[in-house]
Structure 1
């Protein structure tokens, strides 16, 4: 088994905090998600998380005008210069303080950073390789409180900064003679946003109390004059001019500006002045509603404002005409962005983790995504690996598409936290268990809850399991210590299994037999026989409380995770323990902010809480109350690889040692109950509370892994964590992995064999070299009429490798029919031999099925669309024929041929559905 799994994508969380940005073409949204950045492609309906991360949550993101670079700054002021073309980090920098906003100039030569009560202007990194990409140009002082917003003029000559001290400051990017700085007042609350008008120095300023001030400048952008240089700058300019014009008279030093003279009438011109033109109010009804974010599109004069109540307004400036006023939620809108054309508006709500893209002209949603409000608890892959279902503490069940990364359906019928979810064997039904005392079944065809299973007395369900047929639904209780069994067809309660003396922590059906395994806190795992009236077949005694149980894919072995940080493996037929792995030292639990003991002692009470076998059954994946996920080799009982889920220090239990900077003579600052008026204070958590006190002034969620699942294809695995739904997949593109290679096999020898039309030998040589591009070149060189002959002559080992290559080729190649012919011939010719090794080839066949099923769905939608178009065209033509019978548009022969073609299409569609 290969272990080169790399982080692939982040699902389940679409927005956390920070500012949203549209790309230059306006088709994608860049959203900060915790300490990562996700790009949502709205045209192609895909999402992609960049393979980089900061140490703390991202505070702000600045995008260059050409869309090639982005500056990502976290809460501590550490910055990453990222190339959006190659998706890699180019430079690291630290601003030594919390940064509130960053903005590039329109010409891309500079960028300004708002930090504390100052603004710093840096030279933007160019296309050349530089040792230090960020060079400080100037530092601007003026505001007395934190700066909040930055905006530039169109020609990059000036920029404006808003501050919490209710003032707005206009600064010149160059040393202008008539504009050094200008301070504007007029507001009674902190400035939220300030914008320049297009090709002008006119200003709009917005404050938190919902006030808009309009400022008019008496000077145009062309009226700004460069200040006369003094000192050594003037000497250098004077010397240059003397060399160029030796015969001219030397003019006065104060009259020289970069080799130009200033007329006397221009010297007497007044400085730049602003005048207050108008003042508008958003809260006209008198209700107090804080303005939290705003965005302005200069070309269309469109102002979008968001408020703390979830309402947003669209106004046309400078007349302040209201266009729309809508509400998207009851949480505050944290960030707003408008794309380059002014058609799409992106909204981010940090309270709900919600991201919306709204097309204001048609009043329709382009994108509407929201993660789980609280942490995700469980997940399950569909049998073909195309979908993932997740359940969270917010009572929602969400289904995600693994290819696009979007959630396409959310079920909200549960009234309490969802503890477990699973798919049926067909993949069209999702079953979930909840603490509200119900187990619900959801239909993915009609998107509805068609079954609700309840118990005779109220209970809280902690786990759920389905048999291989999908007809039997079982759920374990955590308060009555019983297992309830229902029929999927009738919804009736069939039996109640009792015998455990502690809460049921896990249920799992044997994939090959009718045996149910139940793990409990009473230090036992019980095996129940479905065909023997649900009698207890065996009771496996453990050394500690059982937390998770799972069967191997072939049903021969059983794995159990216990509270004493051990993984034990059992031969359930003979009730014999075959092995165990001590995992205490692999957890490496971090120290919480409020812990009074060291991380080393805290690790004694931690353990793995979720298990999953690999597709081939040789390894097991384990995760729990730690930031690490471990893969163990079962037969050798050793740790093969450890994956770090997150490096985000904004989460709790990440550091192994205390931060000495937070230690005072009275102890840890986090343990000191500070004054209630202090925003940085933190309430002490109650013992045993996992979710945290959401009413505390500051809340740091703890890093943990709540559920793990391998994809049926074996190519990736997913984990529900505090960060979200993380997908790790095999990174095979950068690994050279040959098979039985010798020195005679080279790309040139493979191509020479191919020119001799020895196709079977060329395919075998290409697979021994194992380069995808070369394999593709060899396969596509085989004529279609010789595929059957070549497929029949391939050895069994190369048939498996070829099928695996075909499954991956379906995802990227456009030669659909050609590869389908290869797949059909291989399965028809080698099917009986492959059936003998069905257990080991199950992941490969499911991977192949997933790839073909995706193309089938796309083609079937296209066929349906074409069928409706043909019906519409026939209907229109028939109506025209009835109106003009003398000149029929369709003859009898044409109508007969069209009806025959429609009949043929219906028959083809029925065959595809079968």
Structure 2
């Protein structure tokens, strides 16, 4: 039998760090999630993750104007050209340095990349627009910045490229050679440039620095006034005179005329229109028409607030700025009128990326792992998703496979819909890391165990915490299990417990896992420990009497067969042993040491030779009265 597995979706987190993108139709948001890329369909309320994986996390992304080609660059400078039609990587390119930004030209013929040094590359974009079908064909290389480049923007006619850098200046580079424009520099900022944005159908530009200073520049020419270098009119040579020219006059040809003769000669000359000066070419210059300090309102409450992200909608002339305090402002240009201000979080370094499409604003926060899509006119959330802000420690499927419950070290329990990929409820009652989680047999509730010393049961239908179990003495729980009827819950702790309902003592090491028998009429409980033993209990009828099966290595986890006849145990030496529950005889063994050895790193902390051994961890069983809810 052959098994074929296909990657479908990524759950547990929605955003980490990097550029957010809207698709050309505005119905989907593309978000980098570590070393993968997720697409959130806002119209159909569904999310998918591309079957593309990088060795390092993605941080710079951009989408072609036709929405077919995605360029994603990771933190080490490795670029992937991804086809969204086939969802495969069609080409790779190594920049060998961290890339700050990547941007397609509006006509789709080129894309520009700025590295962490002062170099900007312009490549031909493959496709029907450019007529080039080889990937990463370099067109131009621009030098000129005195510090690291930070941002890019193209003019609407794709003829001029604006590059902002940390040297507090914005450089303008022409893609082709023009007679009245070459390289131009815009200064007057007192901090590094965060964003530079061209106006639509104009070369007017707005530059924003890290301290919130915004400068609006007006260009002296229009896009139609650019003259190619090969079509420029020839320059007339100016006639130079010297003192020696006066001595070279031919005296024989000089005629002295009276005043009356000169007047008569001038009256006979016909007056004609002056000829146009073909040598005069309008050159490109910029004039700063205004300067604004957008961060003053934020710094009234937070003196150390800095601008971290900015986005601009050229058609509506709406500017959005996000700050490290979690606040973002919406202004209307060129008068910089404040339209709306909102504070989402008090966490520092909140915004990592902003993207604007029509009336929707996509906001990403790497610290919280949060992704928001907000409609600024109606002031409502289109989408609000947040993953675990810390590592995810446990996961469980519901019995029908429709839901997934995850527990993280941030103390939160999240429920995810498998088909849509969205988190629809978050429980945050725990005050410490979640160590284990499980669904009941009827999928009506989910039970979680935490290091805060509590075991909590959550109602999946009413979305509330209806039961909380604690020990008589503070203890940290590490594993939990429910029986098939949903009446009993077993939890393992890291200290000796007094009676809750029943204490099953006997393990001499940490209990790593426990599970109830799937048979409805059975109360058999199997537990494994780092004391190299498997113990099979009849938790309710016989109490602490149990069968003991010893192993040669520490036991990690245990699972029952669906019919409840056999039990499988995984040990730290890479083996899986299967035993019959009634006879305690070994049925089969799966050798996995050779397969696991190739994937184990020398820096792994836990191996068969160096296991981690915490304190004694007995098992306690409590009764869960589901009908009381």
| TM-score with structure 2 setting the length | 0.86
| Corresponding residue for residue 335 of structure 1 | 353
CA distance in 1, matches of 2:294, 2:528: 59
| Corresponding residue for residue 538 of structure 1 | 547
List per-residue Cα deviations over 1:66-112 (Å, max 9, x = no partner). Answer: 11111111122222221212222222222333221111111111111
8 Å CA contact 1:584, 1:604 repeated in 2? no
CA distance in 2, matches of 1:471, 1:112: 62
8 Å CA contact 1:171, 1:180 repeated in 2? yes
| Corresponding residue for residue 272 of structure 1 | 284
1:364 paired to 2:373: no
CA distance in 1, matches of 2:162, 2:510: 61
8 Å CA contact 2:63, 2:70 repeated in 1? yes
| Corresponding residue for residue 97 of structure 1 | 97
| Corresponding residue for residue 141 of structure 1 | 143
Which one is further off, 418-427 or 577-586?
577-586
Greater percentage in helix: 1
Partner SS for 1:275: strand
8 Å CA contact 1:479, 1:503 repeated in 2? no
| Corresponding residue for residue 502 of structure 1 | 509
Relative distance call for 1:589 and 1:415 in structure 2 (3 A) is: farther
| Corresponding residue for residue 201 of structure 2 | 199
Q: CA deviation at 1:132?
A: 2.5
Q: CA deviation at 1:16?
A: 1.5
Superposition pairs for residues 143-162 of structure 1, below 5 Å?
A: 143-162=145-164
Relative distance call for 1:413 and 1:560 in structure 2 (3 A) is: same
Relative distance call for 1:688 and 1:189 in structure 2 (3 A) is: farther
Superposition pairs for residues 102-181 of structure 1, below 5 Å?
A: 102-115=102-115, 116-127=117-128, 132-181=134-183
CA distance in 1, matches of 2:236, 2:85: 47
Q: CA deviation at 1:163?
A: 0.2
Residue among 210, 213, 221 paired with 2:212:
210
8 Å CA contact 2:149, 2:166 repeated in 1? yes
CA distance in 2, matches of 1:555, 1:44: 41
Q: CA-atom RMSD, angstroms? A: 2.5
Relative distance call for 1:557 and 1:358 in structure 2 (3 A) is: same
| Corresponding residue for residue 226 of structure 1 | 228
| Corresponding residue for residue 9 of structure 2 | 9
1:474 paired to 2:525: no
| TM-score with structure 1 setting the length | 0.60
Q: Structure 1, unaligned stretches of length 5 or more?
A: 231-250, 256-262, 485-492, 593-597, 608-686, 690-914
Q: CA deviation at 1:556?
A: 1.2
1:345 paired to 2:346: no
Superposition pairs for residues 239-278 of structure 1, below 5 Å?
A: 265-278=277-290
List per-residue Cα deviations over 1:743-779 (Å, max 9, x = no partner). Answer: xxxxxxxxxxxxxxxxxxxxxxxxxxxxxxxxxxxxx
Residue among 511, 525, 543 paired with 2:534:
525
Partner SS for 2:123: strand
Q: CA deviation at 1:254?
A: 10
Greater percentage in strand: 2
8 Å CA contact 1:56, 1:76 repeated in 2? yes
Q: CA deviation at 1:229?
A: 7.7
| Corresponding residue for residue 565 of structure 1 | 574
List per-residue Cα deviations over 1:510-562 (Å, max 9, x = no partner). Answer: 11222001111222121111342423231111212222111111111111122
CA distance in 2, matches of 1:294, 1:600: 41
| Corresponding residue for residue 32 of structure 1 | 32
Q: CA deviation at 1:591?
A: 7.4
CA distance in 2, matches of 1:688, 1:275: 70
CA distance in 2, matches of 1:388, 1:599: 31
Q: CA deviation at 1:382?
A: 1.0
Relative distance call for 1:526 and 1:156 in structure 2 (3 A) is: same
8 Å CA contact 2:236, 2:279 repeated in 1? no
Relative distance call for 1:385 and 1:66 in structure 2 (3 A) is: same
Residue among 538, 553, 556 paired with 2:562:
553
CA distance in 1, matches of 2:443, 2:121: 55
CA distance in 1, matches of 2:135, 2:589: 52
Q: CA deviation at 1:497?
A: 2.1
Partner SS for 1:277: strand
- Report how many residues are paired: 567
CA distance in 2, matches of 1:129, 1:453: 68
| Corresponding residue for residue 459 of structure 1 | 475
CA distance in 2, matches of 1:60, 1:600: 31
Residue among 441, 452, 460 paired with 2:457:
441
| Corresponding residue for residue 905 of structure 1 | none
CA distance in 2, matches of 1:180, 1:3: 60
8 Å CA contact 1:563, 1:606 repeated in 2? no
8 Å CA contact 2:235, 2:279 repeated in 1? no
Partner SS for 1:526: strand
CA distance in 2, matches of 1:121, 1:49: 29
Superposition pairs for residues 274-313 of structure 1, below 5 Å?
A: 274-284=286-296, 285-286=299-300, 287-313=303-329
Residue among 384, 388, 405 paired with 2:421:
405
Relative distance call for 1:420 and 1:603 in structure 2 (3 A) is: closer
8 Å CA contact 2:234, 2:279 repeated in 1? no
Partner SS for 1:186: coil
CA distance in 1, matches of 2:489, 2:537: 14
Larger radius of gyration: 2
8 Å CA contact 2:472, 2:498 repeated in 1? no
Partner SS for 1:145: coil
| Corresponding residue for residue 264 of structure 2 | none
CA distance in 2, matches of 1:226, 1:373: 54
Relative distance call for 1:14 and 1:254 in structure 2 (3 A) is: farther
Relative distance call for 1:496 and 1:360 in structure 2 (3 A) is: same
Relative distance call for 1:600 and 1:147 in structure 2 (3 A) is: closer
Q: CA deviation at 1:462?
A: 0.4
| Corresponding residue for residue 250 of structure 2 | none
